[in-house]
């Protein structure tokens, strides 16, 4: 028997539902008794089979409906919004990855700009109560003041991926201003965990070490990352979903706060608030695998940043949540999943 949802946001569109975060988030929303329409275009940026398996674990839920669709398909998106009448929308679908944006920048325009515009239009015309959208820690770009704060300007992106995420924040603010759409942007910091993406460091390192291949360690390992466990990300998203952005009465154009506005618009960081050096990250993987990595130490990759570190004061104040899963807890969970999925 599926529990009846007591939440005001009962029917949710999750874009990118077959993706890493989208899969975990959809499962959580379904557990809470909400109705989820999961949209994904199932592209081959990474192994589509992994996406299909994630999706197959969601489809048995009576409250889950899978939609195979591309965000950039304007007519199909219009039809979907009219037919389904969502209470809330969580936009996670995007062309991801900083390094891939050096190779194929056009795919970021299609997914992250054209696609996001179609989401905004769908919300505007169909009385969606709250749009929650994934931004990224990459928007901080050339910023060096730590920890990264949503109250600082982020006008110096260093990758096309980051530029599209910054553009999403600007586009959402515009729709909030013009149409009163309640919009909340979430800047995720280096998400990891079971069912993770094969292009992410934890997956790549685990696979290579188990296969006795060297791993590429950029910036000679002198990278700091605010690694955030996927369940903590999901908890933050769900709490924010049920608290639609409201205008900030103290906002002033004389000293504009980038994180809020005179309209119903808000930005939050969701990060672990505990940056860890990449070499320590690798050490924990080695301990879990009982096997040493062969490290191919390399210079910094173009478009990358040396450190990320989230200030999460606003998130804690507004929704009462702080990510708390340590790498020592989270990495073993990923490796247990990886071994079960690939070697069982």
Task: List the catalytic residues.
Answer: 161
Backbone angles phi, psi at 66, to 5 degrees: -95, 135
Residues in CB range of 344: below 8 A, 6 or more apart: none
Cα 61 vs. chain centroid, distance in angstroms? 23
Backbone angles phi, psi at 273, to 5 degrees: 65, 25
Residues in CB range of 56: below 8 A, 6 or more apart: none
Backbone angles phi, psi at 298, to 5 degrees: -130, 160
Beta bridge partners of 12: 36, 88
């Amino acid at each position: 028997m599926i529990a009846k949802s007591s939440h005001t946001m009962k029917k949710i569109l999750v874009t990118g539902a077959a993706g890493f975060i989208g899969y975990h988030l959809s499962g959580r929303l379904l557990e809470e008794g909400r109705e989820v329409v999961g949209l994904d275009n199932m592209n081959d940026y990474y192994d589509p089979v992994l996406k299909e398996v994630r999706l197959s674990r969601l489809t048995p839920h009576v409250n889950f409906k899978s939609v195979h669709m591309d965000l950039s398909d304007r007519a199909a998106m219009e039809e979907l919004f009219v037919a389904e009448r969502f209470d809330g929308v969580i936009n996670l679908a995007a062309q991801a990855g900083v390094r891939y944006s050096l190779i194929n920048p056009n795919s970021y325009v299609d997914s992250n700009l054209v696609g996001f515009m179609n989401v905004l239009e769908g919300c505007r015309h169909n009385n969606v109560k709250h749009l929650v959208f994934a931004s990224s820690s990459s928007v901080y770009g050339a910023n060096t003041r730590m920890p990264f704060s949503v109250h600082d300007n982020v006008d110096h992106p260093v990758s096309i991926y980051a530029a599209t995420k910054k553009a999403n924040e600007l586009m959402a603010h515009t729709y909030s201003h013009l149409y009163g759409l309640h919009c909340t942007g979430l800047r995720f910091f280096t998400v990891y965990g079971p069912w993770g993406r094969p292009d992410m460091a934890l997956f790549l390192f685990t696979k290579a070490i188990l296969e006795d291949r060297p791993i590429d360690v950029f910036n000679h390992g002198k990278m700091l990352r605010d690694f955030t466990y996927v369940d903590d990300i999901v908890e933050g998203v769900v709490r924010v979903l049920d608290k639609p952005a409201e205008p900030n009465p103290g906002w002033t154009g004389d000293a504009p706060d980038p994180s809020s506005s005179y309209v119903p618009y808000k930005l939050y960081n969701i990060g672990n608030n505990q940056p860890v050096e990449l070499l320590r990250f690798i050490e924990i993987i080695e301990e879990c695998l009982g096997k040493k990595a062969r490290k191919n130490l390399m210079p910094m990759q173009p478009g990358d940043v040396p450190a990320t570190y989230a200030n999460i004061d606003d998130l804690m104040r507004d929704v009462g949540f702080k990510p708390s899963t340590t790498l020592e807890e989270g990495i073993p969970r990923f490796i247990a999943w990886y071994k079960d999925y690939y070697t069982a």
